[in-house]
């Protein structure tokens, strides 16, 4: 079974975090949510999320994918935590998936994980002049190798579905999406 880590920081965007967690679990992918500190996490819109565990408890575990939810100051809190950078570098070294949405792609850019890659993020979150080595794309979801990025709360469902496809294939993605009864806009 594929395993995914979703670190939860104070001020994270709950729509992004919960959408990713929910859809991956619908795909029967094991999702572990880990707070940067022990106990509940207050998200950006004051929703209280209860992580499965703390980040310290999973530092030595292996994950097929690490997903960083965005939101402010959530993405900044992730970026300021050295353990997140350790986990991301370990993912890169093992050639495993890394994903970020909204403001969180800036964490990846700052760690050099987007160098020479195409990526997207919340408008203005990654300043081109600060990260000229990143090919910023205006798209809802961008996949470049093992790095998957997305723009924001409005793209969270597309992002989560892409994560399912990248981890487990298009057939499972289509099954999960079909059960959601999504309507495309005309």
Is 102 a known active-site residue?
yes
Question: Which of 29, 101, 102, 164 is labelled catalytic?
Answer: 102
What is the b/e burial string over 122-138, where b = at least 16 CB atoms within 10 angstroms of the residue's CB? beebbeeeebeebebbe
Task: Show the beta-strand stretches assigned E in 61-166.
Answer: 65-68, 97-101, 118-119, 135-136, 141-144, 147-150
Token digits for 108? Answer: 């990846």
**Helical (H) or strand (E) element with 103:** none
In contact, 111 and 89? CB cutoff 8 Å: yes
Q: How far apart are CA 138 and CA 150, in angstroms?
A: 10
User: What's the Cα-to-Cα distance from 48 to each of 32, 45, 156, rounded to whole Å?
Assistant: 17, 9, 19
What's CA 31's distance to the chain center, in Å?
12
Phi, psi (5° rounding) for residue 97? -70, 145
Positions marked active-site: 102
């Amino acid at each position: 079974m594929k395993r995914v880590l979703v670190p939860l920081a104070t001020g994270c965007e709950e729509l992004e975090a919960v959408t990713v967690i929910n859809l991956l679990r619908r795909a029967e992918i094991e999702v572990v949510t880990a707070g940067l500190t022990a106990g509940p996490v207050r998200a950006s819109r004051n929703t209280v999320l209860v992580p499965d565990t703390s980040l310290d408890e999973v530092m030595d575990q292996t994950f097929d994918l690490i997903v960083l939810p965005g939101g402010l100051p959530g993405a900044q809190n992730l970026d300021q935590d050295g353990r997140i950078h350790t986990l991301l570098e370990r993912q890169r070294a093992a050639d495993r998936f890394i994903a970020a949405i909204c403001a969180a792609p800036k964490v990846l850019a700052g760690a050099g994980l987007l160098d020479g890659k195409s990526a997207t993020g919340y408008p203005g979150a990654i300043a081109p002049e600060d990260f000229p080595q990143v090919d910023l794309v205006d798209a809802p979801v961008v996949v470049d190798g093992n790095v998957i990025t997305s723009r924001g709360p409005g793209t969270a469902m597309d992002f989560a579905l892409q994560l399912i496809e990248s981890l487990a294939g298009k057939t499972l993605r289509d099954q999960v999406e079909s059960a959601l009864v999504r309507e495309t806009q005309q």
